[in-house]
Structure 1
Amino acid sequence: MRKFVLIHFLLFMIIAVFSKEPWPFLLLTVAQIVYVPIALRFVMKRGDWFSSFYSYFAIPAYISIAIIQLFSPEWSAIPAIIYLAFTVIIALYGLTRFLRRGFTNIEEFSIDLGMMYIALGGGWYFAYIADIDTGFTPLLTWLTGIHFHYSALLLPIFIGLLGRLYKPNFYSFFTGLLLAAPMVVAIGITFSRWIELFSVLLYIVGLAGLIAIAWRTRFPTRMQKWLIVTSFTSLGLTIVFSLLYVLGNGFGLTSITIDFMLRFHGVLNCIVFALFGIVGWALCVPSSVYEEPNFPISRVKGKQRIEHLGDPGKHRGLVDNMNLYGINKVSPRILDFYENTIDYRLFSTVHWHAWFKPFAFLYSFISRRTEQINLPLHRNEVEMTGDILTIYDGIDGRKDVRAWIRKVDEQYAFVALYSSHQTNEGRNFMNIALPLPCSTMTGVLEMIEHGDDLQLTSRKTCPDSDAGIYLTTKLGKYFSLPLEEDFVVREEGDGSLTARHEMWIFSIPFLTIHYRIHKE
């Protein structure tokens, strides 16, 4: 790492000494030549495709920047497009990291999104060098390129590294604000002064929270804590002047000029935020706490007809014995329903939440073809009929698999393949696969007893829980979806059962299904 850092600093010093451009343009150059490469080193995983071919991508890009700065040739657009291609490759690396993991571990998502943002920085830089009319002045085009190198790449990576060390409950909220802010800034500059003002307020709230978290974080050394806390705190100062600039430029309330912002805001961000942050994290780079799950995944995909993959009658229920999950205190009727499911009639009332109904309508055109999660749009009670099939051994890849087919008016509503798996710690989870075209969605549910009631939930009750909803494709085996589901089953006074099935997307409720369950 030290040799790598020395080479990049030396290259920048050569460019700085012999550059033909005015000094403010070195604020972007130092990010391109020094800060971005070192920040990428913090998060690259040895042995993956990006680290293996990094030199082939990076060296031409860095040479291209040097050519532009040292010689300013008339054909500068050619080396600029080489650098743009490099930023696109970085963005693809961020995307592939995200696709392997999905919507989990927001600190890693922050790093991924920062790498994806850098392609926008490369695009704006190319537009400036190639003298493309973006609708803004050349200076503003160049400043937007700076924005996507510092605020949109370095800051998300620093936030992610901080989250690896310490991630309190409110970390996700403040991180979310700061991840959204770069795009809101770009939209505000383009369309509305009010949106631009709102974006600065997002930065202020998000940075205030991150600075507080940084102060409370335990770092390996005092020197590292001092450097990193200073780095984050400096942003708190510069964002205040950004607010004053927006109020002056957009509303005429202050007299902060673009020249002052270049000298104060630019230099402070370049030296204190970026340099202190890079040096601080280089002292000790925290490792990712994310560990890929290893539970079994169904091999059955949506194109296969379930009726051809199994026999009816061998299994009467979704579970042979609920003791497998340590469930023995709930109502005996609930145990009987799961162990003898075919003896029960199921009546459902579907409630799509108002905000989601337009999406549910559009999705209905897809669900009729996929025959999966194909639910009515109305709220009338309907009966779900169907059967339980035992899947032939070796087809699914999991153990003791049975398919529960549910239909509404002879149309498939759900085709769910039920199994279970046990973790190394001896915890058992219900493992439910929903075959989709070229993919499989897997719901891993934990069973929890609440007196006589039974709850099945995809929400994690502890950090090492497998619970969740995952999508398996050729791009990734355990892509964690931003979905959560929760079933609560209870026995009523007349001996019948009721169940409430709730689903959330990004923690927002979008679907509720009420069931009445009667034994035939």
Structure 2
Amino acid sequence: MKANLKQRLFSPITIAGIVFFLASSLFTADSYLLMLTAAQLIFVPLMLQLLVEIKRKHIIFTWMTMLSVFLLAVVPSSAGQIALAFIYLMFTFLVALYGVKRFFQRGFTNWAEISIDIGLMYLFVGGLWFFAYIAGIDTGFSPLITWLTAIHFHYSAFLYPISLGFFGRLHNSNLYPFIVVSILAGPMLVAIGITFWPLLEFISVLVYIFAIYCLIFLAFRTRFATNLQALFIRLSYVALGITIIFSLLYAANSAFGSWFVSIDFMLMFHGFFNCVVFGMVGVLGWVMAPPPSKQADWNFPVSKIRGKLKGAGEQRPGLVENLSDFVDVKALPYAIVHFYEKTERYQLVASVKWSAWFKPLAWCYKWISTKMQQLNLPISSTPTEMTYTIRAVDSSIDGRKNPRAWVRQVENQTVFVAIYSQHETEGRTYMNIALPLPYSSMIGVLQLDAEDVGSLVLSSEGKGDPGVYLAVGRTIFKLPLSEHFIIKEKRAGVLTAEHNMKIFGVPFLRVDYRIDEKIDSENDKLA
């Protein structure tokens, strides 16, 4: 802990920030303005040092940014101030780009890291409002409100989400995702409410308050690296729990005209607590022992094929060589095993059902999918036969083990081109399916389980590899999609399957399949 404190507090960036802050305080007439200066020169750089591997170029550019913030209190000309504020704006823009890069290296997984990513992106919004304040841009609000919005996005939208992300590296529960979503949505909802609908501001603050108090509750049930760190982090969250009540009163005044809380009071009380107790104490708490990320790199093999399928060769009888590689086939009916290993012997009839809320999007997407000849599902729910072929794919082109393409068509229109393979992680074999897209490939990693009722479940939901991903170049991005496929034996030689898909946990597509064994394959089966 002492080593971390010494390394961060006495780093070239932190020392420069403290010196510039003290110098700025000598030239700042209104002391409340120093609350934002403290965030710009001390708190933001300290938090970034916990996330970024600092190199010489980072130190030099950060010094330039700090110098520009200091000179804003010294340079009298408006043109000079605009130029200096623009330098800080570019700094926040680069921080936001880093947040975007982090996010696209991982995708929609790990709420703790998502919270950090969004916090980094929000800093640019704070930079925009700060630039608007310095440049005197008409935002529709008074200069003071513009400045308050800038400070809001530095503390509530940058420091808080990153602190919440660090906390998520230590704590994991069903309540944590709700807290993250509420906290991340809060700054934008409050800003929209202030601008267009005061009642929305009041409601969003209520949700925000509930999330904060849930976080306080969890913080007192979470083990930290040291007792001192626990004290600092809990104290910073409690400070937010106190100051947010006055934000609620201020929002109530805007919405209903009662419980009057003045701007001056908010600056003195709310601002002081957030700056000193939440900002300074909270940042110091994480500097003592920054928790490492628990996000593991994706190490499973990914198809190299992008765009149109190339390298399809001789025909293959089934989607897999042996279903026993994935699941205990003794727990499954013979017909299910036979379908996966001898798929060509079966007829497939599908009924597509789009959720009502998603149908307008499905109609728009249909034009694109028809052009791509990929993920080209019918809009109508009328049962439709899908014809198909299964062909080997050159492993040297695809890059995975024994790949084979299942090309499905409806009335000579290609519906799916899915390249099946498999991989093993920690003793378990997963189905690894690639759907080539323009300049990319959608990857579905499915976990197979035999249920007690004699049905087979394939799901992208599970710990570790399972999921739906987008592969672009060497980047693997987890999408907010999930799929759940269950196949059952209705009677001898007849299977039914139900394929459900969700986006952000909300169902949007269901495909019901009837799978019949072709009559002319009966003799082959008996043989």
Q: Distance in 2 between matches of 1:340 and 1:274?
A: 63
1:409 aligns with: 411
Aligned: 1:41 with 2:49: yes
CA deviations on 1:334-370 (whole Å, 9 max, x unpaired) are 0000000000000000000011111111111110111
1:323 shift after superposition? 1.4
Match of 1:368 in 2: 370
Paired residue secondary structure (2:399): coil
**What is the aligned partner in structure 2 of residue 444 from structure 1?**
445
Aligned residue for 1:140? 145
Structure 1: how far apart are the matches of 2:66 and 2:371?
Answer: 50
Report the Cα offset of residue 494 of structure 1.
4.4
Q: Deviation at 1:54?
A: 1.6
Partner residue in 2 for 1:478: 476
In structure 2, the partner of 1:280 is 285
* Aligned pairs, number: 506
CA RMSD of aligned residues (A): 1.2
Q: 8 Å contact 1:174–1:206 — kept in the other structure?
A: yes
Q: Distance in 2 between matches of 1:431 and 1:487?
A: 14
Q: Secondary structure at the match of 1:157?
A: helix
Tell me the distance in 2 between the aligned counterparts of 1:108 and 1:45: 16
Residue 420 of structure 2 corresponds to: 418
- For 1:53 and 1:312, the matched residues in 2 are separated by 54
Cα distance in 2, alignment partners of residues 497 and 85 from structure 1:
59
Residues 100/52 of structure 1: CA separation in 2 closer, same or farther (3 Å cut): farther
Structure 1 SS opposite 2:190: helix
The one-letter amino acid paired with 1:435 is: P
Change (3 A) 1:486 1:45: farther
| 3-state SS of paired residue (1:374) | coil
Structure 2: distance between partners of 1:164 and 1:422: 27
| 1:53 counterpart = 2:57 | yes
* Aligned counterpart for 1:354 among listed residues 346, 353, 356: 356
Which residue identity is paired with 1:487?
F
5+ unaligned residues in a row in structure 2: which ranges? 1-7, 519-527
In structure 2, give the amino acid aligned to 1:516.
Answer: R
1:13 equivalenced with 2:22 (yes/no)? yes
Partner residue in 2 for 1:73: 77
1:197-256 Cα shifts (integer Å, max 9, x gaps):
122112101101111111111001111001100101110111100111121233221121
Of all paired residues, the percent bearing the same amino acid is 44
Q: 1:162 to 1:394 in 2, by over 3 A?
A: same
Q: Does 1:3 align with 2:10?
A: yes
Contact kept in structure 2, 1:118 and 1:153, CA below 8 Å: yes
Check whether the contact 1:391–1:402 (CA below 8 A) recurs between aligned residues: yes
Q: Counterparts in 2 of 1:99-138, with a 5 A limit? A: 99-138=104-143
User: Is residue 219 from structure 1 mapped to residue 224 from structure 2 by the alignment?
Assistant: yes
Contact residue 94 and residue 113 of structure 1 kept, 8 A: yes
State the alpha-carbon separation in 2 of the partners of residues 41 and 282 from structure 1. 9
Q: SS where residue 220 of structure 2 aligns?
A: helix
Query: Does 2:103 align with 1:94?
Result: no
Aligned partners of 2:375 and 2:437: how far apart in 1? 10
Do the aligned partners of 1:330 and 1:454 also contact (CA within 8 Å) in 2? yes
In structure 1, the partner of 2:465 is 466
TM-score by length of 1: 0.95
Distance 1:52 1:400 in 2: 47
Asked if 1:385 corresponds to 2:381, the answer is no
Matches within 5 A, 1:145-294: 145-294=150-299
Task: Give the 3-state SS of the residue equivalent to 1:43 in structure 2.
Answer: coil
* Partner Cα distance (1:45, 1:211) in 2: 30
Structure 1 residue matching 2:398: 3-state secondary structure: coil
The question of whether the paired residues in 2 share the 8 Å contact of 1:20 and 1:71 is answered with: no
In structure 2, relative to structure 1, the CA distance for the partners of 1:349 and 1:489 (3 Å cut) is: same
Partners of 2:468 and 2:254 lie apart in 1 by 47
Distance in 2 of aligned mates of 1:500 and 1:506 = 20
Report the AA paired with residue 292 of structure 1.
D
Distance in 2 between residues matched to 1:420 and 1:337, nearest whole Å: 17
Distance 2:422 2:456 in 1: 17
Alpha-carbon separation, structure 2, partners of 1:54 and 1:356: 45
Q: Deviation at 1:20?
A: 3.2
Q: Match of 1:496, as an amino acid? A: V
CA distance in 2, matches of 1:56, 1:301: 40
* Aligned-pair CA distance for 1:52: 6.2
Which deviates more from structure 2 when the two are superposed, residues 249-258 or residues 215-224?
249-258
The alpha carbon displacement at 1:266 in A equals: 0.4
Q: What letter matches 2:499 in structure 1?
A: H
1: CA distance, partners of 2:58 / 2:190: 31
Aligned to 1:322: 323
Contact 2:457 2:487 in 1 (8 A): yes
Matched, 1:32 2:40: yes
Q: Aligned match of 2:513 in 508, 512, 515?
A: 515
Preserved CA contact (<8 Å) 1:489 1:500: yes
Letter of the 1:347 counterpart: V
Change (3 A) 1:316 1:370: same
Q: 1:52 to 1:93 in 2, by over 3 A?
A: farther
Letter of the 1:318 partner, please give it: L
**1:295, CA displacement in angstroms?**
0.6
> Structure 1 unaligned runs (5+)?
none
Deviations 1:428-471 (A, max 9, x none): 100000000000110000100003100000001x3xx2111110
1:468-507 matches, cutoff 5 A: 468-474=467-473, 477-507=475-505
Q: Distance in 1 between matches of 2:409 and 2:328?
A: 28
Of the structure 1 ranges 229-238 and 488-497, higher mean CA displacement relative to structure 2 is found in 488-497
What is the Cα deviation at residue 64 of structure 1?
0.5
| Cα drift, residue 45 of structure 1 | 4.1
1:299-321 CA-to-partner distances (Å, cap 9, x unmatched) read 1112x3x3x512232x2000111
CA contact (8 A) 1:20 1:72 kept: no
